[in-house]
Amino acid sequence: MPATLEQLTGAFTEQFARLREWLEPLGDTLGGAAQLPSSRTGWSNRELVVEIGTSVQSLINAEPAPADTTPLSLGEYTGHDSDFDAELTQRVQAQAAGLTQGVLEYLEEMHTRATANLLALGDDEDSVVLGALGPIRLGDLVRTRLLDLVTYTLDLEASAAGRMDLSAGNTPVHVPALRLVADELLDIVASRGGYPLEVVDARMWTRLATGREPYNTLALTSAIQPTDTAGGVPDLGRVLPLI
């Protein structure tokens, strides 16, 4: 069952708090790794952190839609063409190059503004708001921003692997938020194919579902399993990545 607006907002807040806590001792140099390549092809670690802040811009700008406005579905809103990745990289690089304040200050400012506007928009998850890509239900808009926040934080975690000790919970990822996102992504698959599945490994499933991990059936079957023990995991090669 899809998460409620309250659950989504809580996970968004908690994931940001964990990210901030993890980044704070590293400072604006990100522990000397700001200009090193991140796990996102073409992005530095600094650019990745800046994009985490910029990704909530649509929450900052969202406003109530005119009465009787028909919202886009989540799939319609998040769909993009083949040029999107290249355009995103160019925009991220330009945004980071033009930033005059420290990246951690920018991250904090953007989250504060996003949270304030989200509070002003109210608690009706079915209300229609104007997002960056068109009209969308408020609950779905927050859902897209949480998905981005968690997946970008996974990118940051992957960037630090081998360079930092990520054991004993020293990770920027808030595990409950990751689990919620993993369940939301599996709900999308289930709604399209009616597959009775459940998440076993939230991190691997999220990486597969968002294209961070190359698709292979071994990884898939380690990440999700059928709820019916007599069933099997379907081949999702034509379905993934979802976003």
Strands 134-137 and 197-199: unpaired
DSSP 3-state of 72? strand
pLDDT profile of the chain (243 residues), mean per 10: 94 98 97 96 97 96 97 82 74 94 97 97 97 95 97 97 90 98 93 88 97 95 90 90 87
Separation of alpha carbons 174 and 149, rounded Å: 11
Is the pTM value of this prediction over 0.75? yes
Phi first, then psi, for residue 37 (nearest 5°) are -65, 140
Phi first, then psi, for residue 233 (nearest 5°) are -85, 125
DSSP 3-state of 169? coil
What is the token pair recorded at 32?
A: 């000397």
What pLDDT score was predicted for residue 229?
A: 75
Hey, CA dihedral for 17, 19, 20, 25, is it positive or negative? positive
What pLDDT score was predicted for residue 68?
A: 95
What pLDDT score was predicted for residue 231?
A: 77
DSSP 3-state of 128? strand
Separation of alpha carbons 65 and 71, rounded Å: 9
Separation of alpha carbons 216 and 79, rounded Å: 23
Q: If residue 135 lies in a helix (H) or strand (E), which one and from where to where?
A: strand 134-137
What pLDDT score was predicted for residue 59?
A: 97
Nearest alpha carbon to residue 189 among 229, 222, 145, 235: 235
Interaxial angle between packed helices 5-23 and 175-193, expressed in degrees from 0 to 180 and rounded to the nearest 10: 140
